Amino acid sequence: MSAILPLRLEEVSYAVDGRRIIERVSLVLEAGPSTIILGANGAGKSVLMRLMHGLLAPSAGRITWSSQGARRRQAMVFQRPVMLRRSALDNVVYALKVAGVPAAQRERLAQEALDEVGLRPVARRPARVLSGGEQQRLALARAWALHPEVLFLDEPTANLDPGATREIETIIKAFDAAGTKVVMSTHSLGQARRLGDEVIFLHQGRVAERSPMDQFFPLPASPEAAAFVKRELPWD
């Protein structure tokens, strides 16, 4: 099984009703470093991740994975994950089922994934009654069970308190340690620094800058990113 990475974006644009939301983005995402997508509200972070994950089709340009079968070897965790009306365990089992995992293995793999995110005690509880933080961890468990080569995370800790945020960050680090390529958007500069190896800074649908984390902080090269960092830091 050859790797689906690197992921190539060539001159990718995305427009709705003639309004350009993503504008001629060219990028190569390699296996390895965790990539943080930073940018102000409305910069196009969510749209860019949906394009990469294949949920949106570009209006122009090309997005290509390096081998076949990329769909099944990537996962995405949304800001507000959708839970099926069944138990936490069965939510993970469902993800395994639709990924083609044989029935005999599903329950064991699902339990392991719940263990990984610390949700074993609530495995039988209906997913929809779990707290926001627990639901987000369950979304991560669904991804974990699939052992994706790439994991997209769209502001996975927005709306969570610091405790829940830390738990989520620990799990994201575990993905990285297990060899999954992490691509995550966030508002939090602190989180970017804690989890990322490199930054892609989006400004009005364009890539304003791409730098290794230790160069981006404390001094971004692009004026847009510098202004953003200056604005955000005092509250971080």
Partner 1 sequence: MLEALGSGLRLVATLDLRLWEIVGLSLGVSLSAVAFATLLGLPLGAVLAVGRFPGRQAAIVVLNALMGLPPVVVGLFIYLLLSRAGPLGEFGLLFTPQAMVIAQTVLVLPIIAALARQAVEDAWRDYEEQLRSFGVEGWRGALTVLWDIRFSLLTAVMAGLGRASAEVGAVMIVGGNIDGVTRVMTTAIALETSKGDLPLALGLGMVLIAIVLALNAAAQVIKEAALRRYG
Ligand X SMILES: Nc1ncnc2c1ncn2[C@@H]1O[C@H](COP(=O)(O)OP(=O)(O)OP(=O)(O)O)[C@@H](O)[C@H]1O
Q: Give the interface with ligand X as residue ranges (CB under 6 A).
A: 16, 21, 39, 41-47
7 binds partner 1 (CB under 8 A): no
Instruction: Say if residue 108 is exposed, middle or buried (CB neighbours under 10 Å; 0-12, 13-18, 19+).
Output: exposed
39 binds partner 1 (CB under 8 A): no
70 binds partner 1 (CB under 8 A): no
Measured CA to CA in angstroms, residue 217 lies from 189, 226, 236 at distances of: 9, 9, 13
Residue number, 37 or 83, with CB nearest to partner 1: 83
The 181-185 sheet, strands edge to edge: 74-77, 150-154, 181-185, 35-38, 198-203, 206-212
- Kindly tell me the sign of the dihedral angle through the C-alpha atoms of 57, 29, 214, 34: positive
Of 9-17, 36-44, 127-135, 211-219, which part binds partner 1 (CB under 8 A)?
127-135
Out of 38, 51, 53, 182, the residue judged to bind partner 1 by CB under 8 A: 53
Per DSSP, 86 falls in state: S
Q: Smallest distance from the beta carbon of 168 to partner 1, in angstroms?
A: 18
Q: Smallest distance from the beta carbon of 126 to partner 1, in angstroms?
A: 5
Out of 18, 41, 57, 85, the residue judged to bind partner 1 by CB under 8 A: 85
Q: How far apart are CA 194 and CA 59, in angstroms?
A: 34
39 interacts with, out of ligand X, partner 1, Mg ion, none, CB within 5 to 8 A per kind:
ligand X
Q: Smallest distance from the beta carbon of 14 to ligand X, in angstroms?
A: 8
- Kindly tell me the sign of the dihedral angle through the C-alpha atoms of 126, 98, 6, 154: negative
Residue number, 83 or 200, with CB nearest to partner 1: 83
Of 27-35, 57-65, 126-134, 201-209, which part binds partner 1 (CB under 8 A)?
126-134
132 binds partner 1 (CB under 8 A): no
Q: In one letter, which amino acid is 61?
A: G
Residue number, 91 or 196, with CB nearest to Mg ion: 196
Of 18-26, 27-35, 123-131, 175-183, which part binds partner 1 (CB under 8 A)?
123-131
162, 165, 171, 172: CA torsion to nearest 10:
-130
- Kindly tell me the sign of the dihedral angle through the C-alpha atoms of 215, 218, 221, 227: positive
Q: Smallest distance from the beta carbon of 39 to partner 1, in angstroms?
A: 20
Of 5-13, 71-79, 109-117, 163-171, which part binds partner 1 (CB under 8 A)?
71-79
Residue number, 116 or 198, with CB nearest to ligand X: 198
Q: How far apart are CA 117 and CA 136, in angstroms?
A: 10
Which residues are paired to 207 by β-bridges? 202
